[in-house]
Amino acid sequence: MITARDGVYFELHSFPFCYCSIAIYFGSLPSFLYSLSTPLTTLDLTMDNKSAFWLYPFSISFTRAKHIGFVQSVVVLTLASALIVSPISSVSSFQLSAFGPSRKEVNILLKVIFCLKMEVNKEKYAADLSSIKEAHARISSFIHKTPVMTSESLDAISGRRLFFKCECFQKGGAFKFRGACNAIFSLDDQQAAKGVVTHSSGNHAAALALAAKLRGITAYVVIPKNAPECKVQNVLRYGGQIIWSEAPVQSREEIATKVLQETGAAFIHPYDDGRIISGQGTISLELLEQAPLIDTIIVPISGGGLMSGVALAAKSINPAIRILAAEPKGANDAAQSKAAGRIVTLPETNTVADGLRAFLGELTWPVVRDLVDDIITVDDMEIIDAMRLCYEILKVAVEPSGAIGLAAVLSDSFRSNPAWKDCNRIGIILSGGNLDLEVLWASFRK
Amino acid sequence: MITARDGVYFELHSFPFCYCSIAIYFGSLPSFLYSLSTPLTTLDLTMDNKSAFWLYPFSISFTRAKHIGFVQSVVVLTLASALIVSPISSVSSFQLSAFGPSRKEVNILLKVIFCLKMEVNKEKYAADLSSIKEAHARISSFIHKTPVMTSESLDAISGRRLFFKCECFQKGGAFKFRGACNAIFSLDDQQAAKGVVTHSSGNHAAALALAAKLRGITAYVVIPKNAPECKVQNVLRYGGQIIWSEAPVQSREEIATKVLQETGAAFIHPYDDGRIISGQGTISLELLEQAPLIDTIIVPISGGGLMSGVALAAKSINPAIRILAAEPKGANDAAQSKAAGRIVTLPETNTVADGLRAFLGELTWPVVRDLVDDIITVDDMEIIDAMRLCYEILKVAVEPSGAIGLAAVLSDSFRSNPAWKDCNRIGIILSGGNLDLEVLWASFRK
């Protein structure tokens, strides 16, 4: 990765244990000011978040870093100090391990930096590691600790080691139960007695109905008429009260507001809610315990609740971890938002992944903007092909939204991107498995 | 359960911690002799294996067993002594826990009895707990320790607590890899160098090819032309050398023998082989560690390799456990064999469960005869319905043979049988997941 702009020269090979050279020349004052005025998110993604360094007009030059010990430590500490006071928070994916200090030292350093930065930026995010740990304590007796599966066949196909966190095995058939459970068990008794209300295309609805049932309260669920039948059946099975709406998000929201006013129930947004984000973040706590050596996590992105929780928890535990989002090309609002540096919504979406049609929210956007290292978009055929591999090799029944992480790993845009060629141990979240398979059963009845 | 015959009266309520009365009156000498001449397997199955007691002309009568302590212990010891010298080995499912001693004491007692009986009958069985533990040590670095999954929804549907041992997640997509791996790594180097040969409808073939690949030797696999395409693809993926045969078992065996003579390879039968049985038995070691409180295991039965391994290991660890087999009505040779007291083969089989068409072998039959408490037969529609539940609720992609254990638990013949109404915590082996789903993918391509 080599980048140059306005007198600032920056070079970094981030192959740990191999070879490293870094050279940052003095930047001019105009370039410094220009950098400050440029939102990080509009920079070329191949630069990763290392562009944060452009802000600092100092110069260092090394080759063969491993021959230099003490000096590098000083450099690292200098960089660390600079990063701590930096107004930009997204430095966590930077690979310092090539600088000379051991990977462990670097990770401790990164962690200190990250924690300080998280503290500084606390008000920006709706959840943090402690709220996520609290959520885990609150919900762990209700949720399944889903297994992490591996497959040598899929490792061979992808050329990486893959660790599948099977949230499709979560209660209700999707990760959504974690957030719903945390939100519902966070309510005080008086609030809870009036019930909860939400709008959702299905998985959040079923999850909320199930969590409400566990607490013995009512869940009012606004569901668009085009939701998949099996997801609607899940809501009914768990005793949720269904209120139908039209497909557009606006219609859902209006009806949900009406129910809210009539019942006094607590509104629980499918993703733009700190309690939901904290609940989804518990996935990272488990995944990093089950597969502690992963260097990358790939997460399906829709409204960003799952993404935010996973990114906040994972980067707090291991700031060096890469967090990548996988998004359908037909609903690529998150990729467009990252590129534009602001929330972008789309007039319409068109994808087989019915669970990934929502847009980023006010609470999820800052996390996606700052902590997500890249968004990989894939088309529907890539999603179906990945689903097929999940069924035929992993033997896991995922829905299209659930398979998109595998689709991203197998996509050309991921494979050919040099920024990700050292992503060797990748956690993939198989987010859900609620899918109508009637065509399959009909074929058996013949 | 009340049974009476020829002056012998026997009554047992086996609801632990509840109420128990037992009365065995003196049997006459003719009845004793008659019992001896009657093969156990031809007795009415509702009698379970308690009919072993008919052999002993002694009398005991109790009510409210929990009010009597020492006397019952003496009784249990007397029964135990009697059982140890009994020529009939299948006493292990007898519920002594209602007699007064604690469940733990009873289990220790049953275990002593069982071990002594296993020792007496050692030559009858092709494997035992120690060969199964050796197999586990040999293969555990190669196999997946498959997860045990639970589902409150399926518990509610079945009215029991179910523990699904997901062998469909095993390498090669089925439990078969355990046995194949054990067999191949049991060979000495000289034998191994000549390769291995087998005939199989698919899962054993793929498993053997994969295990052979791990050891770096050749696997010659005779496959019938009607084998499912995905299973054939698995063999090819793992580098197995395919030799085609006609569908009937006879044709497969002839061709396998021919290959054997030409290559000098070691023949590894899909199920009638002690190494295979020991390998499959490792499932019980894991299952009873992952879900130690199960009181019943339901196992798909075909050639009996899986059944034998699971039963030998599980009853050696917990003699009180019930072992039930699940078999398709269209290939019910095992049920017929149990009824007839000898191996019965069928002129043809007709079932959607392509993995369950084999017949019991010389080595698997004695275990099935002695240790399997009952065989539950289900029709193809029950299998498909159970598959559907596996996909839609568990999110696990099973093949029809893999879903048959769940089909058995949900069948009327199981639910309505009073002998199984206290089977509360049931282990179900989801044996494999190799299934052509082309119809599903074709529907997405539209």
- Shortest distance between the Cα of A402 and any Cα of chain B, in A, equals 11
Cβ contact, residue pair B392, A230, below 8 Å:
yes
pLDDT at A80 over 60: no
Whose structure tokens read 């035992």?
Answer: B128
- Optimal mutation site among A203, A394, A395, A398, interface B, most CBs of chain B within 10 A: A395
User: pLDDT of B77-125, one tens digit each?
Assistant: 555 555 554 444 333 333 333 344 455 656 666 666 666 666 666 667 9
Of A144, A387, A395, Cβ closest to residue B173: A395
**Which residues on A lie below 8 Å from B230 (Cβ)?**
392
- Shortest distance between the Cα of B7 and any Cα of chain A, in A, equals 52
- Shortest distance between the Cα of B127 and any Cα of chain A, in A, equals 30
Whether B271 and B304 have beta carbons less than 8 Å apart is answered as yes
User: pLDDT of B246-273, one tens digit each?
Assistant: 888 788 889 999 999 999 999 999 999 9
Structure tokens at A197: 């209300």
B443 to chain A: closest CA residue: A439
Cβ contact, residue pair A395, B398, below 8 Å:
yes
Tell me what the mean pLDDT of segment A174-197 comes to.
96
Least confident window among A346-355, B38-47, B174-183: B38-47
Q: Say which of A50, A165, A171, A176 is annotated catalytic.
A: A176
Cβ contact, residue pair B439, A441, below 8 Å:
no
Whether A120 and A132 have beta carbons less than 8 Å apart is answered as no
DSSP label of B170: S
Q: What proportion of chain A, given as a percentage, has pLDDT over 70? A: 72
Cβ contact, residue pair A230, B443, below 8 Å:
no
Least confident window among A30-44, A140-154, A287-301: A30-44
Pairing of strands A196-199, A241-245: unpaired
Q: What is the pLDDT, as a whole number, of residue B50?
A: 40
A176-267 belongs to which CATH class? alpha beta
Q: What are phi and psi of B209, to 5 degrees?
A: -60, -45
How far apart (Å, rounded) are the C-alpha atoms in residues A309 and A277?
A: 5
Cβ contact, residue pair A396, B397, below 8 Å:
yes
How many CB pairs below 8 Å do chains A and B form together?
71
Residue B10: pLDDT band (50, 70, 90) is very low
Cβ contact, residue pair A169, B388, below 8 Å:
no
Cβ contact, residue pair B237, A153, below 8 Å:
yes
Q: Which residue has the higher pLDDT, A78 or B233?
A: B233
Run of H or E including B375: strand B374-378
CA atoms within 13 A on the CB side of B326: 32
Q: What is the pLDDT, as a whole number, of residue B65?
A: 32
All residues at 6 or more sequence positions from B116 whose CB lies less than 8 Å from its CB, including other chains: B84
Nearest CA to B176 out of B429, B392, B3 is that of B429
How far apart (Å, rounded) are the C-alpha atoms in residues B153 and B410?
A: 13
Most confidently modeled range among B45-59, B279-293, B341-355:
B279-293
Cβ contact, residue pair B444, A394, below 8 Å:
no
**Which residues on A lie below 8 Å from B388 (Cβ)?**
437, 441
Whose structure tokens read 């058939």?
Answer: A173
A443 to chain B: closest CA residue: B439
Q: Which residue has the higher pLDDT, B407 or B15?
A: B407
pLDDT at A95 over 70: no
> Would you list the domain boundaries of chain B?
2-120, 129-174+275-439, 176-267
Q: What is the pLDDT, as a whole number, of residue A65?
A: 33
Q: What is the pLDDT, as a whole number, of residue B108?
A: 65
- Tell me the three state secondary structure of residue B1: coil
From the options 1.10.287.70, 3.40.50.720, 3.40.630.10, 3.40.50.1100, give the CATH code of B129-174+275-439.
3.40.50.1100
How far apart (Å, rounded) are the C-alpha atoms in residues B311 and B27?
A: 32
pLDDT at B413 over 90: yes
Least confident window among A36-50, A215-229, B129-143, B318-332: A36-50
Q: Say which of A201, A284, A316, A337 is annotated catalytic.
A: A201
- Shortest distance between the Cα of A256 and any Cα of chain B, in A, equals 28
B117 is an active site residue: no
Residue A82: pLDDT band (50, 70, 90) is low
**Which residues on B lie below 8 Å from A443 (Cβ)?**
439
Cβ contact, residue pair B388, A439, below 8 Å:
no
User: pLDDT of B210-236, one tens digit each?
Assistant: 999 999 999 999 988 888 787 788 888
Q: Say which of B165, B171, B176, B231 is annotated catalytic.
A: B176
pLDDT at A193 over 60: yes
Cβ contact, residue pair A441, B384, below 8 Å:
yes
How far apart (Å, rounded) are the C-alpha atoms in residues A170 and A204?
A: 12
CATH topology agreement for domains A129-174+274-439 and A176-267: yes
Least confident window among A78-87, A104-113, B4-13: B4-13
Buried b (16+ CB within 10 A) or exposed e, B361-400: bebbbbbbbbbbbbbbbbebebbbbbbbbbbbbbbbbbbb
Chain A residues within 8 A (CB-CB) of chain B?
Answer: 144, 147, 149-150, 152-153, 166, 168-169, 171, 173, 230, 237, 352, 384, 387-388, 391-398, 433, 437, 439-441, 443-445
Give me chain B's average pLDDT, please.
79
The residue type of A430 is L
Of A169, A395, A439, Cβ closest to residue B168: A395
**Which residues on B lie below 8 Å from A351 (Cβ)?**
none
A154 to chain B: closest CA residue: B171
How far apart (Å, rounded) are the C-alpha atoms in residues A139 and A383?
A: 31
A157 to chain B: closest CA residue: B237
Whether A278 and A133 have beta carbons less than 8 Å apart is answered as no
- Shortest distance between the Cα of B142 and any Cα of chain A, in A, equals 11
Cβ contact, residue pair A168, B395, below 8 Å:
yes
- Shortest distance between the Cα of A22 and any Cα of chain B, in A, equals 42
Whether A325 and A373 have beta carbons less than 8 Å apart is answered as no
The answer to whether ipTM exceeds 0.85 is no
Angle at B115 (CA atoms; ends B111, B118), nearest 5 degrees: 135
Chain B residues within 8 A (CB-CB) of chain A?
Answer: 144, 147, 149-150, 152-153, 166, 168-169, 171, 173, 230, 237, 352, 384, 387-388, 391-398, 433, 437, 439-441, 443-445
Q: What is the pLDDT, as a whole number, of residue A61?
A: 30
Cβ contact, residue pair A439, B437, below 8 Å:
no
Tell me what the mean pLDDT of segment A419-423 comes to.
91
Q: Which residue has the higher pLDDT, A179 or B117?
A: A179
Q: What is the pLDDT, as a whole number, of residue A399?
A: 95
Cβ contact, residue pair B230, A440, below 8 Å:
no
Of A150, A387, A392, Cβ closest to residue B230: A392
Entry field: residues in chain A: 446
- Shortest distance between the Cα of A221 and any Cα of chain B, in A, equals 20
Of B352, B387, B443, Cβ closest to residue A439: B443
- Shortest distance between the Cα of B316 and any Cα of chain A, in A, equals 29
**Which residues on A lie below 8 Å from B443 (Cβ)?**
439
**Which residues on B lie below 8 Å from A395 (Cβ)?**
166, 168-169, 173, 396-398, 433
**Which residues on A lie below 8 Å from B393 (Cβ)?**
173
A176 is an active site residue: yes
Burial class, A190, CB count within 10 angstroms (exposed 0-12 / middle 13-18 / buried 19+): exposed
From the options 2.60.40.10, 3.40.50.1100, 3.90.1170.50, 3.40.50.300, give the CATH code of A129-174+274-439.
3.40.50.1100
